[in-house]
Structure 1
């Protein structure tokens, strides 16, 4: 039986809960989850050491979940971050992170914009 949109949302929320528990165990404080703007959604917003972390949660059973974060997706995340910062009047440092769940492994990549800049530079 094929997956429905509802199944995908439910599964995504389960992975976000795994991510939330993982990050809490690493000392991150919870700010918000599933923040929406007209540009898109940010899965988790956490804080650690005075820095806001906007976290994209990705999972896969067959490929590296980080490959699902495209430049277009990053652009939407950045626009949504600025909506969040303006709406809640935050004025602190921030970064965009990714938490990948691949099979039974969790990988947390801080500041993915640097990762993608280096990846792009290496592959050109």
Structure 2
């Protein structure tokens, strides 16, 4: 996926989160392990969000691999340590298609 398409999907995901009561804390947080697309908070819970987009839901969700989740978790740990945070948190995915946006909370390996 091109960076422009990725940015568009992330913009739509941020808008979705904001419309659903989240506050976006940071976008595109990088560590040596990988990147977190969006970090948001709602009800005192920090959400590390991976954004995937495709023409169809199934195509996008298949790109959330075990390897990608592992990198997301390691990068989330870096973020928590770097910012000395001791808060509840979870790892989410937002799937963006031309027709709809899905928010998958608390995804695991």
TM-score tier by shorter-chain length is over 0.9
Which segments of 5 or more consecutive residues in structure 1 lack a partner in the other structure?
A: 1-6, 117-124
Corresponding residue number in structure 1 for 2:83: 88
Alignment of 1:34-113 (within 5 A): 34-62=28-56, 64=58, 65-113=60-108
User: Following TM superposition, where does structure 1 have runs of at least 4 consecutive aligned residues deviating by more than 6 angstroms?
Assistant: none
From the two aligned structures, give the one with the greater strand fraction. Answer: 2
Which segments of 5 or more consecutive residues in structure 2 lack a partner in the other structure?
A: none
From the two aligned structures, give the one with the greater helix fraction. Answer: 1
SS at match of 2:67: helix
Q: Which of 14, 20, 23 is the matching residue for 1:26?
A: 20
Structure-2 change in CA distance of 1:29 and 1:12 (3 Å) = same
RMSD: 1.3
Q: How many residues align?
A: 108
Q: TM-score, normalised by structure 2?
A: 0.94
